[in-house]
Structure 1
Amino acid sequence: MVKLAFSKPTRDAEGQRLLFDRYQQAGYDGLQLKGNQYSPYLDDPARFQAEWGSDPAHVSSLITMNPLDEDGKERLRTLFRFAAAVGSERVVLCHDVPRVGLTDDDLADIARMMSGLGQEASDQGVRLSLHHHTNEPVMHRRDFDVFFDAVQDKAVSLTVDTGHLMKSEVLDIAGLIRDLAPVIDNVHLKDYEDGQFRLLGQGTVEFGDIIDALTTLDASATLCVDEESRAEIFEGMEVSQRFLEGRLVAR
């Protein structure tokens, strides 16, 4: 069966409660949380579980925007410990530094550094997955090959984001998924048009070929509707679920 998660930014505790209360009712298997949805609890995972529940599905992945200077590495290690304590299966890292000016050697150095961090995560039962991002180190099609050729011991996996690929002008998304299938553990399904992220089916991303390519992924990979349009929470859940209904096939 396809494991389908949902993710959406929330402005306040009321929005977060709605997200937690409704995602399973709307047909999703788990949540992938944005930073502000868990970061107040990093030093007290028991308080997070007391307030939001102890179901690991609530925290199937934890998304973070984080540079990897020394302070950033320590924050990431704190996140690994939190993820392990609450039962999250992966930390999704958006490497929050500019892409401009980086060479292939720089990308390879970053990959080796992340490999060490990925091993630390693995030691705690958590996966480290790189989320490529527009204007961050892994952005262009060639960057993916350079980066993952340098990853050591398969310690870092890849979260593919269909919207950010379009925004970064990487247009053969299905081809990228097929090429990188061995390292992909997570896919963010997101539509895009005219500089804005859209509800699924309301942008210019060609999902037919992409969904075909998803069948090349390992059965353990997670698909996540990463809903960053201007729609309200439940509208985003429902519209995305209707769009995907009948399109996703068992892997």
Structure 2
Amino acid sequence: MKWGYQTNTWGGVVGHPAGVTSVKDLYYLANGSTEEAVKDIAAAGYEGIELFDGNLMQYEERLGELRRLLDDHGLSLIGVYTGANFIYGDILEDEFAKIDKVARTAAAAGAEHLVFGGGAIRAGGIRDEDYAALAEALDRAAEVAARHGLTPSYHPHLGSLVEKPDQLDRLMKLTGIPLCPDTAHIEAGGGDPLAVIRTYSSRIPYVHFKDYGSGAFLPLGEGGQDFAAMLAALRENGYSGWVTVELDSHDNPLQGAAVSRQYINGQLANKA
């Protein structure tokens, strides 16, 4: 397996302000320097990065510069993370206009994966039909990714329709999109990440590792997650792809990345 790191620790997780009034411009964004993130991630010993769609689109007209930046630091572009509400018919075409643009740009930049988050929770609460709408939209999103040569997957997330274990199981029965488990989001939503990996191992082309403890997202080894058992479960099904470490925020992003890399080297290197 190969180890990557998400750049969102550099600047934290925000959204593009244009999306407030224009759905087609509603991107995730790490509000920091991608160049600094790439330098630090390489220094910490990782092999690739994942970007938010908004940070990718900052390079839309200068993809050669992004490719050179990655090449200069010996990193691959593993994938791009995007998302949408997915359940509101009136804005769906604008959401897919964005998704298609992101997929096209990600493919041109050399990415392998396109990861989708989302499934909005209405102000009035979740409706039963929202899961069918989300599933239909995710199947369409998977087709867009595949058309551009990218591997699609869905990332369960707090604050979406898919927080809890029963919600994930419900969605997975309705859609054919592969799963990108985020181990900390699964635990924070009341689930068991190891059980999720075992249940859906045949549908996992990509995975996010993040530790969790005392209600907080943490570098690997600082929480209570059993990553060695998760790697064993992935290997039992022949998994040999990327594992991306993600950490939404840290006072010192380079230090956070280094702590997780030291844990990988000391506890997981012979298991991956």
TM over 0.5: yes
Cα 1:80–1:14 shift into 2, 3 Å? closer
Q: Does 1:151 align with 2:169?
A: no
Partner of 1:5: 4
Matched position secondary structure for 2:205: strand
Tell me if the contact between 1:196 and 1:229 (Cα under 8 Å) persists in the aligned partners: no
Measure the CA separation in 1 of the matches of 2:216 and 2:97: 33
Coordinate RMSD, CA, aligned: 2.5
Of stretches 85-94 and 199-208 in structure 1, the one that deviates more from structure 2 is 199-208
Q: What does residue range 27-46 of structure 1 map to in structure 2 within 5 Å?
A: 27-42=45-60, 44=61
Of stretches 51-60 and 126-135 in structure 1, the one that deviates more from structure 2 is 51-60
Tell me if the contact between 1:199 and 1:229 (Cα under 8 Å) persists in the aligned partners: no
Partner of 1:60: 78
Give the C-alpha shift of residue 96 in structure 1.
5.0
| TM-score between both structures, scaled by the size of structure 1 | 0.85
Measure the CA separation in 2 of the matches of 1:218 and 1:143: 27
Give the C-alpha shift of residue 33 in structure 1.
0.9
Measure the CA separation in 2 of the matches of 1:54 and 1:121: 24
State the AA in 2 paired with 1:34.
F
Q: Structure 1 unaligned runs (5+)?
A: none
Partner of 2:93: 70
Of stretches 194-203 and 19-28 in structure 1, the one that deviates more from structure 2 is 19-28
Partner of 1:161: 182
Cα deviation digits, residues 12-34 of structure 1 (max 9, x gap): 88742222123234221110112
Q: What does residue range 1-251 of structure 1 map to in structure 2 within 5 Å?
A: 2-9=1-8, 10-11=10-11, 15-42=33-60, 44=61, 47-51=62-66, 53=68, 55=70, 57-68=75-86, 69-95=92-118, 97-98=120-121, 100-103=125-128, 105-152=129-176, 156-170=177-191, 172-245=192-265, 246-249=267-270
Cα deviation digits, residues 178-237 of structure 1 (max 9, x gap): 110011111111112233211211123333433332323443432111022424222122
Give the C-alpha shift of residue 52 in structure 1.
5.6
Cα 1:51–1:118 shift into 2, 3 Å? closer
Measure the CA separation in 2 of the matches of 1:40 and 1:83: 12
Measure the CA separation in 2 of the matches of 1:114 and 1:203: 31
State the AA in 2 paired with 1:120.
V
Cα 1:175–1:117 shift into 2, 3 Å? same
Q: Structure 2 unaligned runs (5+)?
A: 12-29, 87-91
Tell me if the contact between 1:5 and 1:225 (Cα under 8 Å) persists in the aligned partners: yes
Cα 1:218–1:136 shift into 2, 3 Å? farther
- The percentage of counterpart residues that share the same residue type is 23
Give the C-alpha shift of residue 248 in structure 1.
4.0
Give the C-alpha shift of residue 60 in structure 1.
1.3
Report the number of matched residues: 242
Cα 1:26–1:189 shift into 2, 3 Å? same
State the AA in 1 paired with 2:98.
R
